[in-house]
């Protein structure tokens, strides 16, 4: 259990750094895309701010369980196993949720695509981390 928590925490820290870096890249290199966040449907300044910064840990612990349960299904070098897990996560979790997001919220297709790609990227990063530290 202690190892499980440690792995989840390590992966969560990595995702947290990446998530903030991704926002920074978005604002500084894709300002038109960042402008779309200036929309009433986003509430990133209020009391719920801390929840955003907890999301990497929600994901890392969820995928820690997933990896422990299904890692035997992934084969090959660690980086390939990580990529494969990220793609599986993207297909099972991110794609459907982004689909329903696009169909029901007033957000642009390019913005939803960035979320889809970012979700897959997160899955790949966590997959590589787990494949390396918990083969």
Partner 1 sequence: MKKSPFFLLLIIVGILGTSATPFAPFSPPEKKRYSIVKPSRLFLKGTTNVNKFTCTCEDQFIYQELEVETGDAASRFQNARLGMTTRKFNCKNGKMDRDLQKALKAEEHPKILIDLVEARHSPEDLKNPDAGWFDVEARVNLTITGTTKERRIKAQAKRISENQFALKGSESIQMTEFGIDPPTAMFGLIKVDDLITFHFDLTVQVDPIGFN
Q: Which residues bind partner 1 (CB under 8 A)?
A: 20, 23-24, 27, 31-32, 34-35, 37-40, 42, 44-45, 49, 52
Could you give the CA distance from residue 47 to residue 26 in angstroms, rounded to a whole number?
23
Q: What is the DSSP code string of 101-112?
A: HHHHSS--HHHH
Q: Give whichever of 5 and 25 is closer to partner 1, judged by the CB atom.
A: 25
**Cα–chain center distance at 94:** 9
Select 33 or 62, whichever has its Cβ closest to partner 1.
Answer: 33
At its nearest, how many Å lie between partner 1 and the CB of residue 45?
A: 6
Q: What is the CA radius of gyration of the chain?
A: 16
Supply 72's token pair. 């035997």
In the complex, what is the shortest distance from the CB of residue 27 to partner 1, in angstroms, rounded to a whole number? 5
Helix then strand count (H, E) for the chain reads 6, 0
Q: How far is the CB of 44 from partner 1 (least distance, A)?
A: 6
- How many residues would you count in the chain? 135
Select 30 or 99, whichever has its Cβ closest to partner 1: 30
User: Which is nearer to partner 1, 56 or 82 (by Cβ)?
Assistant: 56
């Amino acid at each position: 259990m202690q190892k499980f928590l440690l792995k989840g925490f390590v992966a969560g820290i990595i995702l947290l750094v990446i998530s903030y870096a991704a926002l920074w890249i978005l604002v500084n290199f894709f300002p038109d895309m960042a402008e779309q966040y200036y929309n009433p449907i986003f509430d990133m300044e209020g009391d719920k701010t801390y929840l955003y910064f907890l999301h990497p840990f929600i994901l890392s612990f969820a995928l820690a369980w997933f990896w422990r349960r299904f890692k035997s299904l992934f084969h090959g070098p660690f980086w390939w196993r990580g990529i494969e897990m990220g793609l599986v996560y993207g297909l099972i979790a991110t794609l459907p949720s982004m689909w329903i997001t696009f169909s029901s919220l007033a957000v642009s297709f390019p913005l939803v695509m960035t979320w889809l790609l970012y979700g897959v990227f997160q899955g790949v990063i966590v997959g590589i981390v787990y494949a390396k530290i918990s083969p």
